[in-house]
Structure 1
Amino acid sequence: MAPTTTAILCTDLSFEWPDGKPVLDRFHLAVGPGRTGLIGLNGAGKSTLLRLLAGELTPSGGSVRIGGEVGYLPQDLALDTALRVDEALGIRERREALHAIESGDVDERHFAAIGEDWDVEERARATLDKLGLARLDLDRTIGELSGGEAVLLRLAALLLERPDVLLLDEPTNNLDRAARARLYEAVANWTGVMVIVSHDRELLRQMDQIADLRDGEVTFYGGNFDDYEQALAAEQEAAERMVRAAEADVQRQQRDLTEANVRLARSASYGKKRSIARKDPKIVSGALKRQAENTAGRVRGMHSERLAEARERLDAAEDAVRDDAEIRIDLPRTEVPAGRTVLSMDNVELPYGATVKLDLRGPERVALVGPNGAGKTTLLRTIAGELRPPAGELTTPVQIRYLPQRLDLLDDSLSVVDNVKALAPTIGDNQARARLARFLFRGGRADQPAGTLSGGERFRATLAALLLADPPPQLLLLDEPSNNLDLASMRQLTEALEAYRGALVVVSHDLEFLRRLGPTRWLRLDQSGLRQVAPM
């Protein structure tokens, strides 16, 4: 395998979890140089595939071949705060060898440890600086890092190693705007092979191709995410035309079969009457009847076969149309009259020291932005009543619901419908199921235990429980709701929030997602406090 043509090759790759649940079955993949964005629905197996490529999981069948060294950035990353920075970067041994040589120790082991990497310190400091981590001293321990800083530090380590193949799993999930910009730049400057799992449209716009993992197969689309969406829209329009044509053909074949049966029945009746009128002998009338029945059977068989073929074509056409179902709901009880106060914060001191003054009235939609560590989550938890402010006056005269990042509102032992009924005890089972159907939990799906749901399903169930609660929320607080959602789930989230008629405060680093919600105000929280800013 030549690394210049195919860097990643999966052949007949199969994988299943210890409980027997299959993820991939005889899967094939070939990826060459450049940046590839891997997308797909939650549960399609994207993260599992990256772990297989990285060697963290062992296939149950088939093979994975990689052309060169692999660097892997997982989605859930935890770094030991006791590590020195140079240890986390993987360069401590080389640095110590370099310092030993500089002090006069010419032991051969030091030269072997350094190899050709004589500028390792300069490269390390330059890489940390580019990623906004210049404050980290190579000789000190990591200390307390935010989730975003941990991601960037791990990325710095990978960039320093210069692997042939770089695998990144949702790298922007915990990054603020400044950190995202630095990661985008690092991705844009990467010259090797890169595969990125992401739902971040801005990041996906930097890709050279999009790989869409669906139903255990990958379809490649040249160009970035905008090109992918245009190509997919054209595909779906053609597929829908094929469905309409196939439906018309099925109706035509059904009509032809019905008309043929009517003609055959008339012909049989006419033949019988004619035979009686001619007083044909019994042996002759029997022969004529068998001949007519054989002819009728052939005609019916021909039309039935045509109808079956038309139905097969319709099934194939319908399979080509994507069923990323849309949420269609109406939530009139969440409506807040214009001018009604839903939140008043008068010099409220947050636990970390900032003082906030804020009033929300009517169905305002507030986009809350700011750097990591500024206290956005703390502010939402204070409004929700989870944290008591040390000083100031806070009033919330309407029903509030808060959706935290960790999505731990559901009882895993209860079904989806029972979780909804727990927050809306006055509604009956049938009413709860009817409402859940609008959130795409139809029939038996509503009876699934919450603990068995995929990430996207769990988010949708949590959102349903919040929005269908009784009394209904008129102030909704959402903390990074788009994290870990696939693109279809992102669209479903915005559809649900479009139907919500109350006041909304959303924390997110995803500007495109925020813009789609139509904020009436943009607020920024940082070290200087909370202030209104121009739309982003």
Structure 2
Amino acid sequence: MPTSITCTSLSFTWPDGTPVLEDLDVAFGPGRTGLIGVNGSGKSTLLKLIAGELRPADGTVRVTGEVGYLPQNVTLDTTLRVDEALGIAAQRAALHAIEAGDVAETHFETVGEDWDVEERALATLGELGLGDIGLDRTIGEVSGGESVLLRLAALLLRRPDVLLLDEPTNNLDLYARRRLYTAVGNWPGVMVVVSHDRELLELVDQIADLRRVNTTARSASVEGGGGRRVGEVTWYGGNYTAYEEALAVEQDAAERMVRVAEADLRKQKRELSDAHAKLARRKRYGQKMWDQKREPKIVMGARKRAAQESAGKHRIMHEERLAGAKERLDEAVEAVRDDDEIRVDLPYTVVPPGRTVLTLTDLELAYGARVDGGFELRGPERVALIGRNGAGKTTLLRTVAGELPPVSGEATAQVPLRFLPQRLDVLDGELSVVDNVARFAPGATNNRIRASLARFLFRGARADQKAVTLSGGERFRATLAALMLAEPAPQLLMLDEPTNNLDIASVRQLTTALESYEGALIVASHDLPFLESVGITRWLLMEEGELKEIAPEAAGRPG
């Protein structure tokens, strides 16, 4: 049988009763599938169910072949040796014992047919850019990004039939991402990858779009009583570019259907109103005839009963038509994507051209990085800060933000600044979104804060949610709102890997927000498509402990 994954009537609910997936049917066959969807739609949960990390509340998962799973957050025991993390320590030990002359049967059983395992391991590490990491080193000596690649190397060495990857590029720098792209492009089996990384999604063979669909819109009930939102997968052939093109055509058609359904609903309402008016006239005429007793009572009674029966059928027919029109409109609206965008109008963030925003002078940072000589940021410039993991990008931003003292030299900001860290630990989880923003803008009224939050898509009760209950994308939007609505208004905004853990819709919303921000911007990121989308004017590379300005065309292949 060909390798495949089949999920039938799959349901999963968190212990607090929150439903994630309900009655989901989906199958994945040979090739590379990009699994996309908004934050909270259940993508990571689905991968965990397929990998056996979670048990479904109902339904079944069937996989033919061995499964390899790379989770979103990779944690490895820092005391492990690299060969132990790769799962080849016992085979290596047996091989070395045999080479030393020990011919015990257990060594041969341990090696089996895999006599070249050490060479394969070194070759796999080399392909992933980890050729300088020896098999005897400990995990504690490698970076977070290297840990992700080590876990991937372990999976590739196992040669599983099915490979599941959950946001694999989140903690990888540009160099490591290129290595992972190559590995994904060469994968021969079944692969399901959850990602917001545009470049990675360009390598897949098909897109599976997981959405939470409102079952009320599909209910045959005239009254429509209380539907549920359940997961549903829509398939699109080709890579992410092909998906966007197909979706654009689909959405144009969906919007036309909404207009048609709205026109039909108006027509049915008019016809029902006309029918009621006609029936009222008939009723008045019948009553008049009864009062004047122009016909025998038995004839008038029969005529009245027939008129009432006809009127009832007429009313029911028009009400059914109206209900059908409402249902068609609900279905049409459901097919149109929610493409709400963040709108920011912050006049006090404007920085005049030429005004000095930030000055760095002979700056030596903690952990060894430095900025020799001087560096100036002027006016509403938009700076991309790129470089390998561990090069010092975050350290530089934290130093400018005042969170870390410099070893020597100076970092001076001449305008109000705000810093959005990778960890998104700016919010107090026990406070509502409104109260969190109020901490940063104590002089603002509650109404003003709520009006501003609506632009960040926190409307009504959503603004009263506790921060701890927010999804990843919502938490990011709330943190961005707290920083951008702060007093004094930030004229320098610094973002550290802002697109990590954001779905593609949230990345688009962030891009829109930054387009309308009129201050200076520094963004540390490995996400080149995102950097290009926000209008970067200068590219800075942190390499070998030094900050260097590079040409835009060199940004994709620094060093």
1:282 Cα deviation from its structure 2 partner: 6.2
Q: Would you say 1:395 and 2:424 are equivalent positions?
A: no
Q: Please give the per-residue CA displacement for 1:345-398, whole angstroms capped at 9, x wherever unaligned.
A: 122221233332321111111111111111000010011111111222322121
Structure 1 segment 320-399 matched on structure 2, within 5 A:
320-356=335-371, 357-399=374-416
1:270 Cα deviation from its structure 2 partner: 4.8
For 1:72, give the aligned amino acid.
Y
For 1:464, give the aligned amino acid.
A
Q: Please give the per-residue CA displacement for 1:487-521, whole angstroms capped at 9, x wherever unaligned.
A: 11111111111121111100110000000000111
Q: Would you say 1:185 and 2:185 are equivalent positions?
A: no
In structure 2, the residue matched to 1:19 is 16
Distance 2:48 2:317 in 1: 53
Farther-moved stretch of structure 1 (243-252 vs 253-262):
253-262
1:195 alignment partner, SS class? strand
In structure 2, the residue matched to 1:488 is 505
Structure 1 segment 137-536 matched on structure 2, within 5 A:
137-215=134-212, 216-270=231-285, 272=287, 279=294, 288-356=303-371, 357-527=374-544, 529-535=546-552, 536=555
In structure 2, runs of 5+ residues without a counterpart are 213-230
In structure 1, the residue matched to 2:218 is none
1:388 alignment partner, SS class? coil
What TM-score, normalized to structure 2?
A: 0.92
Q: Please give the per-residue CA displacement for 1:22-81, whole angstroms capped at 9, x wherever unaligned.
A: 222222221111111111111111111111111122222222221111111111112222
1:291 Cα deviation from its structure 2 partner: 4.2
Distance 2:308 2:256 in 1: 39
Farther-moved stretch of structure 1 (507-516 vs 15-24):
15-24
Distance 1:500 1:59 in 2: 44
Q: Would you say 1:86 and 2:101 are equivalent positions?
A: no
C-alpha contact (below 8 Å) 1:12/1:28 kept by paired residues: yes
What TM-score, normalized to structure 1?
A: 0.95
In structure 2, the residue matched to 1:61 is 58
1:267 Cα deviation from its structure 2 partner: 4.1
Q: Please give the per-residue CA displacement for 1:163-220, whole angstroms capped at 9, x wherever unaligned.
A: 1111111110011111100000011111111111111010011001111111212222
- Identity of counterpart residues, as a percentage? 68
Distance 2:336 2:389 in 1: 40
Q: Please give the per-residue CA displacement for 1:412-435, whole angstroms capped at 9, x wherever unaligned.
A: 010011101111111111111111
Farther-moved stretch of structure 1 (481-490 vs 51-60):
51-60
1:283 Cα deviation from its structure 2 partner: 6.2
Structure 1 segment 20-59 matched on structure 2, within 5 A:
20-59=17-56
For 1:406, give the aligned amino acid.
R
Of 72, 77, 89, the match for 2:69: 72
C-alpha contact (below 8 Å) 2:433/2:466 kept by paired residues: yes
Q: Tell me the matched-pair count.
A: 533
Distance 2:11 2:280 in 1: 55
In structure 2, the residue matched to 1:117 is 114
Farther-moved stretch of structure 1 (296-305 vs 465-474):
296-305
C-alpha contact (below 8 Å) 1:343/1:359 kept by paired residues: yes
Distance 1:103 1:325 in 2: 67
Q: Would you say 1:7 and 2:7 are equivalent positions?
A: no
C-alpha contact (below 8 Å) 1:136/1:142 kept by paired residues: no
Distance 2:40 2:369 in 1: 40
Distance 2:307 2:140 in 1: 92
C-alpha contact (below 8 Å) 1:368/1:508 kept by paired residues: yes
Farther-moved stretch of structure 1 (52-61 vs 126-135):
52-61
Distance 2:292 2:8 in 1: 74
For 1:68, give the aligned amino acid.
G
1:143 alignment partner, SS class? helix
Farther-moved stretch of structure 1 (149-158 vs 272-281):
272-281
1:246 alignment partner, SS class? helix
Distance 1:54 1:230 in 2: 32
Farther-moved stretch of structure 1 (286-295 vs 139-148):
286-295
Distance 1:149 1:56 in 2: 23
For 2:413, give the aligned amino acid.
T
Distance 1:331 1:530 in 2: 31
In structure 2, the residue matched to 1:102 is 99
Distance 2:294 2:87 in 1: 104
Farther-moved stretch of structure 1 (254-263 vs 339-348):
254-263
